[in-house]
Amino acid sequence: MSQMSQMSGPPPYTRDERRALTVRVVVPVLLGVVAVAVMACTAVMGYAGFDTSRGSPDTTSSTTRVTKVVDGDTIEVRVQGRTERVRLIGIDTPETKDPRKPVQCFGKEASARTAELLPPGTAVRLVRDVEERDSYDRLLAYVYRSSDGLFVNLELAQGGYADLLTYPPNVAHTGELRAAVDEARREQRGLWQACGGAGKPA
């Protein structure tokens, strides 16, 4: 055998052979990556109990139900066998529970309004924004009442029970929440009339 023959190696793959190799090796790898991604997304949605549509919730049914109203902008829900604390995104009602702050003007009224809108057992849809949780491990959500699609965050802002509170990047509804707060202030609803503004002591 000549030195040329020894160095030449096996003949190159034909086009059909290359195609078959791609199918046998590359396609299974790609399918595996897709499967892992789908499982990860499913796990996140299942754990949080979230609708990830960011503003277009399906309000026909829900397995997420309110168990407790903590204060005007914080509730507890039962979802898939777990109790989760939920902070309503984009609004800030007067404080009633924060040990670092005194009870603020209109705080009890705001808590009572949220309890009126979301009594225990109420089915809700939680719609997330960019971030799933805050630094206190509370779920961050736009809360919709499943029975009629009521956007609870917006309802509290419109009624004068809450000021605007924006934490980027969670800003999907900032424009309409700001408009609702501005209207409540102009019309002197709720805390704007009773307290002369947000954050005042009781």
Cα–chain center distance at 73: 14
Q: Is 19 a catalytic residue?
A: no
Catalytic residue among 95, 125, 128, 145: 95
Cα R_g (the chain), whole angstroms: 27
Catalytic residue among 87, 113, 125, 145: 87
Q: Is 65 a catalytic residue?
A: no
Question: Where is 111: in which H helix or E strand?
Answer: helix 107-117
The Cα 67–Cα 148 span in angstroms is 19
Q: Is 138 a catalytic residue?
A: yes
Catalytic residue among 113, 125, 128, 138: 138
Residue 110 sits at the vertex; the CA angle it makes with 105 and 115, to the nearest 5 degrees, is: 150
Cis peptide before 169 (omega within 30 of 0): yes
Which are the catalytic amino acids?
87, 95, 138
